[in-house]
Amino acid sequence: MKICCIGAGYVGGPTMAMIAHQCPDIEVMVVDVNEERIRAWNSDNLPIHEPGLDEIVAARRGRNLFFDTVIDDHIRAADVIFICVGTPTKTFGAGAGRAADLRYIETCARRIASVAEDDKIVVEKSTIPVRTANSIKRILKAGKPEVNFDVLSNPEFLAEGTAISDLLEPDRILIGGESERPVETLAAIYGRWVPRERVITTNLWSSELSKLTANAFLAQRISSINAISALCEATDAEVGEVAHAIGMDSRVGSKFLRASVGFGGSCFQKDILNLVYLCEHYGLKEVAEYWEQVVKMNDYQKRRFSHRIVQTMFNTVSQKTIAIWGFAFKKDTDDTRESPAIAVCQDLLNERAHLKIFDPEVPGSRIREDLGCEDDEGKVTICHSAEEATEGAHAIVILTEWDAFAHEDFAKIYQGMEKPAFVFDGRNIVDLEALKALGFEAYGVGRGRPGTS
């Protein structure tokens, strides 16, 4: 069997590497229009940072895992084609700011239709609005009526930073389809390493909608606990204690209740907005408003965090130096898409602070690009260690939960900082009491009222 995956990104690369790893007899070809990305996949310096990925790519690349910019030949040769391209929020025209921009999906469908010569199974791996399979089927059928295309929905649930373990032991594999044979073909691939009871099949539309719903529910939990974190700060309740207490109820569950500076990542916001747009499209105004609140709460949380920093630092950070620890949207990834760090740093820059930023994986060039300050105008300094960022700083702001941050030598760091030295932990990873004992004024999210450090 031959697989071709269109899109060598955060999903296409790791997912195909796992299939190649588990199925040595299947030839897996990952193609992309982005030459630089493909070059990186073929080098020792992979284009994405993901624990455990280097090892499995090194083991399979050149054997049954290949990366190429030649697309048509590999589509033609494949039995199964995964579409794994981006589906960002539309920035123009009808639905701008909400609807999914499906132009990359459509380009893939048209390309498959134009080059395929025999029957293909086409798998939607990208996250798409419910009923997109219908559009794909129509494009394929119109382009090549003589070829039989089976379109399946097989959304991906991996999270960045844990992609390899998520792929190795997924909670479930979801396959939506209309006829048994192609569904079984795909189920058999996953069945090589995923217990069969975890491979569930549904109709196409349930599968498509389950992906948007899963992300909406996950993000909703974060916004819910973040909403409570604001109340904790007003009342001296501790959000970690509240989360622990409610999470022990098995109906609530303990995961995804970490209060934070806000959720980031390329998908939560985009997928909820997409859900909101779909609800509006179907005339379900109340449902749309209900889900939109999850995004609004997240925006509020990011703003609230930067506001708290300014307020606590005597209502001004102008000309003050602030050490920013972490820029990725979560630990163990170099991805900064929709990272809450971008919003918080921009707020602080608007307040005329000078930022010294350190992230162990995000390149400085990307940080500058995300902040729109590509020239070194003295507002942003990229640092090579967490400690370096704190030299002469008035405050440390923790925006990504990199494990190493909790183990820095805070006693030494304190010596090198302006006084009073502040810590604002947007991820609740450091021991605030220990920092206070060293002399810091230390704050977390949902822990302690402002001014009571």
Residue 179 neighbours by CB distance under 10 Å: 9
Chain positions 154 to 173 lying near ligand NAD, rule: CB under 6 A, are 156, 158, 160
- Which of 17, 23, 32, 95 lies at the binding interface for ligand NAD (CB under 6 A)? 32
In the list ligand NAD, ligand UGA, none, the entry touching 9 (Cβ below 5 to 8 angstroms by class) is ligand NAD
What are the Cα distances from residue 350, in Å, to 177, 275, 307, 310, 417?
50, 32, 12, 11, 23
Left if phi > 0, otherwise alpha if psi is -120 to 50, otherwise beta: which for 253? left
- Which of 16, 85, 199, 362 lies at the binding interface for ligand NAD (CB under 6 A)? 85
Q: Does 278 bind ligand NAD (CB under 6 A)?
A: no
Q: Does 65 bind ligand NAD (CB under 6 A)?
A: no
Q: Does 127 bind ligand NAD (CB under 6 A)?
A: yes
Q: How far is the CB of 282 from ligand NAD (least distance, A)?
A: 21
148, burial (CB in 10 Å: exposed 0-12, middle 13-18, buried 19+) = middle
Q: Is the peptide bond before 363 cis (omega within 30 degrees of 0)?
A: no
At 180, list the tokens: 């048994």
At 2, list the tokens: 């031959």
Which of the stretches 57-65, 179-187, 256-264, 435-443 binds ligand UGA when contact is defined by CB under 6 A?
A: 256-264
Which of the stretches 73-81, 153-161, 181-189, 432-440 binds ligand UGA when contact is defined by CB under 6 A?
A: 153-161
Q: Does 214 bind ligand NAD (CB under 6 A)?
A: no
At 133, list the tokens: 């399979």
The CA-based dihedral angle spanning residues 16, 20, 23, 29, taken in that order and rounded to the nearest 10 degrees: 80
Residues 6+ apart with CB under 8 A from 112: 75, 81, 120, 122, 140, 143, 149
In the list ligand NAD, ligand UGA, none, the entry touching 32 (Cβ below 5 to 8 angstroms by class) is ligand NAD
- Which of 68, 69, 157, 436 lies at the binding interface for ligand UGA (CB under 6 A)? 157
The CA-based dihedral angle spanning residues 90, 92, 98, 101, taken in that order and rounded to the nearest 10 degrees: -20
Check if 108 is active-site: no
- Which of 127, 153, 185, 220 lies at the binding interface for ligand UGA (CB under 6 A)? 127
In the list ligand NAD, ligand UGA, none, the entry touching 383 (Cβ below 5 to 8 angstroms by class) is none
Which of the stretches 68-76, 150-158, 182-190, 344-352 binds ligand UGA when contact is defined by CB under 6 A?
A: 150-158
In the list ligand NAD, ligand UGA, none, the entry touching 222 (Cβ below 5 to 8 angstroms by class) is ligand UGA
User: Which is the catalytic residue, given 108, 267, 279, 345?
Assistant: 267
Strands 2-6 and 27-31, by their bridges, are: parallel
Q: Which of 302, 344, 326 has its CA nearest to residue 401?
A: 326
Chain positions 269 to 308 lying near ligand UGA, rule: CB under 6 A, are none
Q: How far is the CB of 47 from ligand NAD (least distance, A)?
A: 8
Q: Binding mask 240-269 vs ligand NAD (x if CB under 6 A, - otherwise)?
A: --------------------------xx--
Catalogue the E-assigned strands of 337-446.
354-358, 380-382, 395-398, 422-425, 441-443
What are the Cα distances from residue 385, in Å, to 61, 348, 353, 413?
33, 21, 20, 12
Task: Using CB under 6 A, list all residues that contact ligand UGA.
Answer: 127, 156-160, 215, 218, 222, 256-258, 260, 263-265, 267-268, 329-330
Catalytic residue positions, numbered:
267
